[in-house]
Amino acid sequence: MPRRLRSDRESPPTVEVEIDHASQGSNQLDQPVRFITTATPTPAHSPLILRTPSRLPGITSDDLRILRTKQRRLQRSASLTTQATRELGPWALQGLASTLIFAQHEAGTAVCIDARGWMLTCAHCFGETAQEWRAHRRKWLLCYTGLAVQVECRVWDARRDLALAKVVCIEAPEELSSSHPVTSVFAFVTLSTSQSTTAPIICIGQPGADDLESAAPRKTAYDLIEISKGRLCGMIPDIDPQDNSEIGTLKHDAWTYWGHSGAPLLRRVDGSLLGLHSSWDDSTAMRHGVPLAAIKAFLREHLPKDEVNLAEPARSLEKKEPEIIVIDSSD
């Protein structure tokens, strides 16, 4: 059986990605999170908003140093990233604002699929086993502006290689007033209404910092977020599209690297979600991902129904806290 890695480099990266949160207007497509002042108390299910500077919960000192280093890099290059992404069109800006990177050294990428802060990524980004996932269900992510959010993985599906996480904490920008209750509304991508296995795509993800192609230890020169162009290249034949436990059943040729796992594969003409990058096959150099069919089935089963209306992102919610669900392919 050929050796299969999560990601690999194939061609030079095309675009860097980042932006300054403070400079965004309330209606811009490139705004990862909008903070809306409300007259009523913030609902109990809303993320905890930390007023900076503050000590972030659930993170070690070493990981916090890595987060701050990544955060500063994102903040410095944010405006240039916005300019570069804008050349790809407004849907690319929406995709950029909806994509988050894992703050830890091991990299990883996620995409927001609901305005209330539901994030979709690959299951292996939270752990290769159910035991590993249970021990690390909360992680910190960074928007391309440098804004930090903590998410909690609520559903972990090893067979589909999908995980659903909810934002539970936000490190608010300094200029955010603390005198009134605030509701956070997240930028998100919508699922494609039609399945395609040949569409032109863009992939937005985080390349890992370690050069896996070098014989000696060294770092890569990639930006923290890269955007690459490519095309879907069909499906692996005679394999259940719901089974992505060994390798993603969707094939694509957009550039990726180790760390891109969970990166959204967006239809280039409208920015809708067609899949998530998950893996590659070194016998063919083909990139692989989790297909739209698996994503739709997963979200139908697990995304709370009262939060699934993507056409009305500001709609109020009244729901109980969802239970933690683990789906292990070894069962």
- Residues 244-260 have pLDDT tens digits of 999 999 999 999 998 89
Is 178 in the same domain as 261? Answer: no
Q: What CA–CA distance (Å, rounded) separates 17 from 146?
A: 11
Q: What CA–CA distance (Å, rounded) separates 45 from 224?
A: 31
Confidence bin at 294 (pLDDT 50/70/90): very high
Q: Quick one: pLDDT at residue 178?
A: 63
Question: Is 301 part of any domain?
Answer: no
Which range marks the domain in which residue 291 is found?
4-13+192-295
* pTM to 2 decimal places: 0.83
For 323, the token pair is 């239970």
Q: Quick one: pLDDT at residue 179?
A: 66
Q: Exposed/middle/buried for 117, CB within 10 Å: 0-12, 13-18, 19+? A: buried
Higher pLDDT, 15 or 58: 58
Q: Are 257 and 108 in contact (CB under 8 A)?
A: no
CA dihedral (127, 128, 133, 139) in degrees, to 10, reads 0
| Whether pLDDT at 311 is above 80 | no
Q: Quick one: pLDDT at residue 12?
A: 36
**Gyration radius of the chain over CA positions:** 18
Residue at a domain's end among 142, 167, 188: 188
Q: Quick one: pLDDT at residue 209?
A: 74
Q: Quick one: pLDDT at residue 185?
A: 93
Is 100 in the same domain as 126? Answer: yes
Q: 3-state DSSP call for residue 183? A: strand
Q: Quick one: pLDDT at residue 195?
A: 85
Q: Quick one: pLDDT at residue 293?
A: 97
Is 157 in the same domain as 21? Answer: yes
Q: Roughly what angle, to the nearest 10 degrees, separates helices 90-98 and 61-86?
A: 170
Q: What CA–CA distance (Å, rounded) separates 221 from 208?
A: 10
Is 68 in the same domain as 167? Answer: yes
Q: 201, 298, 194, 283: which is closest to 243 by C-alpha?
A: 298
Mean pLDDT of 301-320: 52
Is 83 in the same domain as 24? Answer: yes
Q: Quick one: pLDDT at residue 321?
A: 41
Question: Is 231 part of any domain?
Answer: yes
| Whether pLDDT at 305 is above 90 | no
Cα dist from 302 to 201, 224, 308, whole Å: 26, 30, 10
Comparing 23-32, 130-139, 276-285, which segment has the lowest mean pLDDT? 23-32
Confidence bin at 167 (pLDDT 50/70/90): very high
Q: Quick one: pLDDT at residue 42?
A: 67
Q: What CA–CA distance (Å, rounded) separates 213 from 210?
A: 9
Question: Is 327 part of any domain?
Answer: no
| Whether pLDDT at 303 is above 90 | yes
Question: Is 306 part of any domain?
Answer: no
| Whether pLDDT at 101 is above 80 | yes
Is 140 in the same domain as 56? Answer: yes
Question: Is 320 part of any domain?
Answer: no
Q: What CA–CA distance (Å, rounded) separates 96 from 111?
A: 9
Tell the residue number behind the tokens 């790809």, with chain if given.
88
Question: Is 145 part of any domain?
Answer: yes
For the chain, the first-to-last Cα distance in angstroms comes to 23
- For the domain that residue 274 is a member of, what is the CATH number? 2.40.10.10
Percent of the chain with pLDDT over 90: 62
Q: 114, 117, 130, 126: which is closest to 153 by C-alpha?
A: 126
Is 57 in the same domain as 129? Answer: yes
Is 86 in the same domain as 198? Answer: no
Is 121 in the same domain as 236? Answer: no
| CA of residue 196 relative to chain centroid, distance | 21
Confidence bin at 90 (pLDDT 50/70/90): confident
Is 154 in the same domain as 290? Answer: no
When divided into structural domains, the chain yields a total of 2
For 205, the token pair is 């993800």
Is 216 in the same domain as 123? Answer: no
For residue 186, what are the β-bridge partners?
33
Average model confidence (pLDDT) across the chain: 82
H-helix segments, 87-129: 90-98
Comparing 204-208, 309-313, 321-325, which segment has the lowest mean pLDDT? 309-313
Q: Quick one: pLDDT at residue 15?
A: 29
Q: What CA–CA distance (Å, rounded) separates 79 from 323?
A: 39
Q: Are 149 and 50 in contact (CB under 8 A)?
A: no
| Whether pLDDT at 10 is above 90 | no
Q: Quick one: pLDDT at residue 9?
A: 40
Q: 3-state DSSP call for residue 41? A: coil
Q: Are 143 and 21 in contact (CB under 8 A)?
A: yes
| Whether pLDDT at 308 is above 80 | no
Is 209 in the same domain as 267? Answer: yes
